[in-house]
Structure 1
Amino acid sequence: MRKFIQIFLTCLLLPTLAQANAIRLKDLVEFDGVRGNDLVGYGLVVGLNGTGDGLRNSPFTEEIMTNILERLGVNVSGEQFRPNNVAAVFVTATLPPFARVGGTIDATVSAIGDSSSLLGGTLIMTPLNAADGQIYAVAQGTILAGGAVAEGEAATVTKGVPTSGVIPSGARVEREIDFDLSSLSSMRLALREPDFTTAGRIEQAINSEFGRNVAVMKDSGTVEVNIPRTNARSTAHAVGRMENVLVEPQRKARVVVDQSSGTIVMGSDVRISHVAVAQGNLTLRVEESPLVSQPNPFADGETVVVPRTGAALEEDPGIQLAEVRETTSLSEVVGGLNALGVSPRDMIDILKSLKAAGALHAEFIVR
């Protein structure tokens, strides 16, 4: 009876454990046609507190300022003006899928001249173009820069990047993307991290959701869904059901290290073969102690400087050859490496050596 209860509880817990590691389909794939479009524009920021472009070093700033004033009916031809409160900028934004006319999107503003700060500036009306050259949005508004500048007569302190900022909801959509989702008879799902096992699980999960074979795996990065076979009211309804399907992805074993900060990130599937590792430091000391030799008083001789050099080579006696046994879990990998008593930066060198020796069974990425 006790054995039967254990088997029964195991059967109840298995689906719960599998579901705990599952991820929504919308977080694993990109739906064909459902994507954003990049926009870019060239504009002018005004109202800066003396931190604008130097017009002699940035002639394009003077040119765009002249064009804007002339469009507003101000004739500045032949005039010589050198304001220091304007700056030329690039404005970028992403037009989300199915954005409608009148909607607003965020805009990012970045200086392209020698302006030292965009703090407190206002972006003048700037058209934003897509790759086809058409204007899809217009940006304007006050810039929120993420840095700060403090300066005096002899020193300047800068924190963050004051030459770049954002305008929340600062661009208004003026044109829509011509895309009819309901006209699709099939839709491809592009995996963000291509993997045959994950693609197969997505195919099975979608077919299980709709109760029939509506999805087929094309390759490691693509799963195609037949929309009419889903019997959904529309393509949007079919996508709405698919994007919340739970799938447990299969990840590649990876080790990612950042040499500048000493950060190490390892996946749960990383394995290390049985290997021995030694890590230590050598210290070389060289000391110069010259000796001055002088002749006796009233003797016929010369003062001579005799060089004396002391050299010593020391090795940390606490470092020994350590054995890292074949491991089956991430905690054992970390525990085996920590047993050497090394710092994270030294551990990066050890991981490189393990990969070169063929003992680290994972993709090794250095940033």
Structure 2
Amino acid sequence: MAIAADTIRVKDLGRMQGWRENAIVGYGIVTGLAGTGDSSNNKTTRQALANVFSQFNLTIAPDQVQSRNVAVVLVTAALPTFAHEGDTLDITVTSAGDARSLVGGSLLMTPLKAANGRVYALAQGPLSVGGYRYDANGNVVQKNHPTVGSVPGGATVEVGVSAQIMNAQQGVVFLLAEPDYTTATRIATAINSQVGAGLARARDAAGVEIHVPDASRDLLTNYLTKIENVMVQPDRRAKVVINERTGTVVSGGDVRISKVAISHGDLKISIRTDNSASQPFVIGNAGPNIRTEIVSNTRVDVEEQNGPGFVPANNNTVADLVQSLAKLKTNTRDIISILRAVKAAGALHAELVVQ
């Protein structure tokens, strides 16, 4: 069966309902800092460190803890679908106090909890910080954010999780990453033609209901593999994305423009100031009011093209318009302004996204 060049797999268009990641978070202590930890004014750090010492039969009052080598931190991670006991997770460690830097620190064992309050993983290990901060005598040298670090594979899953893919109706639901009625209908049609007739139907713009036959329920993995590899041609919504900060314009090559005439003129204004010293010529002793003065000479130059550029656009695409503007040596920022004006005139048949 011939497959069109612009068709892609169903699995690249979304996910199965029930497939999700779970956020887990914990509160811990980073030790081993070289005097860059939380200050003694941070009562939370002193209380937390006193609690740690109490677990080792060391009774110390929180007000007696005086150390800038520790910092209280928040630890976050994402628990993936079908995580098993013993799997490792990457964690992110962020300072929760007034520590100046976490460079060189090591995270003590920290339980990570989900929204239900249950512990799913334990985190511990030396931090990797992509920055630094050093200060002495009022001089500070800093790179990036030294109060945020990570520990690759620093958390171990203690409680596994699983996803319930099949629903009570003995089927699965495929959710589109970008809801679209046309794409949902095409996915259902492609599944019915490539896997089996009558298996799928478009529920709405975001979901496609897929029936699981009795013979495939015991081999659900193989059945979903067939569904994920079904080839379909998704429908694209016309969009033009522009970024004014970087001067970038991205659009589909077939975004249409109705009949419109664009007149573009370039005006260049140059203002330059020359400062020179005026030295008086004096013979003999100079009086108290005779001195050197700084004189500023300002010049304004205005340059304009011989005539405005004229770009006719009759049933063209954005690509044709941009190519025509490039022939007039129009810079990217002017092209952005022109596209916004064309959209305001109602001639650009696409969603204009300004970043």
Q: How high is the TM-score relative to the length of structure 2?
A: 0.84
- Higher percent of residues as helix: 1
Q: Following the alignment from structure 1 to structure 2, what is the Cα–Cα distance between the partners of residues 79 and 232?
A: 62
Q: Which amino acid letter does the alignment assign opposite residue 362 of structure 1?
A: A
Structure 1 contact 186–227 (Cα < 8 Å) conserved = yes
| Structure 2 CA distance for partners of 1:127 and 1:310, relative to 1, 3 Å | closer
CA displacement at 1:94 relative to structure 2: 0.9
1:271 pairs with one of 242, 256, 259: 256
Instruction: Provide the secondary structure at the position in 1 that maps to 2:342.
Output: helix
**What's the C-alpha RMSD, in Å, of the aligned pairs?**
3.2
Match of 1:280 in 2: 266
| Structure 2 CA distance for partners of 1:82 and 1:358, relative to 1, 3 Å | farther
Structure 2 contact 50–65 (Cα < 8 Å) conserved = no
Q: Following the alignment from structure 2 to structure 1, what is the Cα–Cα distance between the partners of residues 214 and 272?
A: 81
Structure 2 contact 199–212 (Cα < 8 Å) conserved = yes
Match of 1:356 in 2: 344
Q: Following the alignment from structure 2 to structure 1, what is the Cα–Cα distance between the partners of residues 137 and 263?
A: 56
| Structure 2 CA distance for partners of 1:147 and 1:177, relative to 1, 3 Å | same
Q: Which amino acid letter does the alignment assign opposite residue 223 of structure 2?
A: A
Match of 1:122 in 2: 106
Match of 1:239 in 2: 224
| Misfit runs of 4+, over 4 Å | 150-154, 178-184, 284-289, 308-313, 327-330
- Which 10-residue stretch deviates more, 174-183 or 36-45? 174-183
Whether 2:145 is the aligned partner of 1:157: answer: no
Q: Following the alignment from structure 2 to structure 1, what is the Cα–Cα distance between the partners of residues 231 and 72?
A: 48
Match of 1:196 in 2: 181
Q: Following the alignment from structure 1 to structure 2, what is the Cα–Cα distance between the partners of residues 318 and 88?
A: 67
| Structure 2 CA distance for partners of 1:260 and 1:68, relative to 1, 3 Å | farther
CA displacement at 1:251 relative to structure 2: 1.6
Instruction: Provide the secondary structure at the position in 2 that maps to 1:219.
Output: coil
CA displacement at 1:363 relative to structure 2: 1.1
Instruction: Provide the secondary structure at the position in 2 that maps to 1:35.
Output: coil
**1:118-157 residue CA offsets vs partner (Å, 9 max, x unmatched):** 2221111111111212111111111112224455545433
Whether 2:72 is the aligned partner of 1:112: answer: no
CA displacement at 1:192 relative to structure 2: 0.3
- Which 10-residue stretch deviates more, 60-69 or 119-128? 60-69
Q: Following the alignment from structure 2 to structure 1, what is the Cα–Cα distance between the partners of residues 140 and 171?
A: 59
Structure 2 contact 257–349 (Cα < 8 Å) conserved = yes
Match of 2:282 in 1: none
Q: Which amino acid letter does the alignment assign opposite residue 138 of structure 1?
A: L
Q: Following the alignment from structure 2 to structure 1, what is the Cα–Cα distance between the partners of residues 62 and 181?
A: 67
Structure 1 contact 324–336 (Cα < 8 Å) conserved = no
Instruction: Provide the secondary structure at the position in 1 that maps to 2:335.
Output: helix
CA displacement at 1:330 relative to structure 2: 5.2
Uncovered stretches (5+) of structure 2, i.e. residues with no partner = 279-295
CA displacement at 1:179 relative to structure 2: 4.4
**1:78-132 residue CA offsets vs partner (Å, 9 max, x unmatched):** 5423312222222111111111122111111122222232222111111111121
* Identity of matched residues, %: 38
Match of 1:141 in 2: 125
Aligned residues: 340
Match of 1:305 in 2: none
CA displacement at 1:284 relative to structure 2: 7.0
Instruction: Provide the secondary structure at the position in 2 that maps to 1:48.
Output: coil
Q: How high is the TM-score relative to the length of structure 1?
A: 0.81
Q: Which amino acid letter does the alignment assign opposite residue 275 of structure 1?
A: A
Match of 1:326 in 2: 314
2:305 pairs with one of 289, 307, 317: 317
Instruction: Provide the secondary structure at the position in 2 that maps to 1:144.
Output: coil
| Structure 2 CA distance for partners of 1:286 and 1:47, relative to 1, 3 Å | closer
2:160 pairs with one of 166, 176, 189: 176
Structure 2 contact 188–200 (Cα < 8 Å) conserved = yes
**1:54-90 residue CA offsets vs partner (Å, 9 max, x unmatched):** 231x332223222222233221115423312222222
Structure 1 contact 271–326 (Cα < 8 Å) conserved = no
